[in-house]
Amino acid sequence: MSIQFSQGKLQSQERKTILQEVQHQMQRVASEAIRVVATDGLEAEVTAKLGREKGQPREAKSQVQEIDWKCGTCECNDANQFTRDGHYRRDLQTGWGTIQNLQVPMLECQQCKHDVICDYALLEKYQRFWMDLTQEALWSSRCSQSLRDMSERWSATVGHSVGLRTINERINQVKSLVHQFHHTPLEQVPEVIQLDGIGVTITEQGEVVVLDRRNRARHARQGKKKVLLVA
């Protein structure tokens, strides 16, 4: 019996190792796919702002082409005065792991030879998390998941610790936008609307106070089954 038990334990460990290797391979493939999509998207956004393809010479135009990007020194916002100026590298935390050394395009103002402030729609400046983690935080918060649960899941995904304050800040950033979206009337109403119900369990905080494993006073939480209506 001990031999059979050892063989079963060995098979279980081998199965776990195989699953971990498959997961790591999936993360590598997904990370490279995200890198390609992000890089192409950033280059396409620069092309759209400048109005010319990469490698195309800048033409001297008398008419000013104003954009919402501007020079950080002289505050010029004329796209005709901006040229591509290489890339800088940064890391990006995504739902499939960390994208290291992501190349972000840089622009230079030809009036004062200083950097242009580029506010990319695809990539938030100084934000180390990508938008997929923000979407997951919003969904998890609406399902009444605790910040600690989200922190543990995100930390396992990106490979390092993610603080509770960081998650809470991401939720608060989009909270007002979601509220505005929910209360904005529809401009175009389709003739046919298809509805579907998804059963979810939402935890709610009760009035009874209990002690947790660390003898801390906490309100007891209970789950309530509800139906999420999707149109």
d(CA 75, CA 117): 9
What pLDDT is stored for residue 192 in this prediction? 85
pTM score, two decimals?
0.56
What pLDDT is stored for residue 180 in this prediction? 81
Write the pLDDT tens digit of every residue in 39-95.
899 999 999 998 888 888 777 666 788 898 999 899 999 988 899 999 999 888 887
What pLDDT is stored for residue 71 in this prediction? 92
Write the pLDDT tens digit of every residue in 173-223.
777 777 787 788 878 877 888 889 988 888 777 788 888 888 888 888 878
Say if CB 129 and CB 170 are below 8 A apart.
yes
Continuous H helices in the chain: 2-50, 131-142, 147-158, 164-182
What pLDDT is stored for residue 61 in this prediction? 63
What pLDDT is stored for residue 208 in this prediction? 83
Confidence grade of residue 119 (pLDDT, cut at 50, 70, 90): confident
Separation of CA 145 from chain center: 18
What pLDDT is stored for residue 109 in this prediction? 92
Task: Between 209 and 128, name the one with better pLDDT.
Answer: 209
Q: Which DSSP string corresponds to 48-64?
A: HHHTS-TTPPPP--SS-
Say if CB 201 and CB 224 are below 8 A apart.
yes
Domain residue limits, the chain: 2-128, 132-230
Token pair of 155 as six digits = 């930390």
Angle between helices 147-158 and 131-142 (to 10 degrees): 150
d(CA 85, CA 73): 16
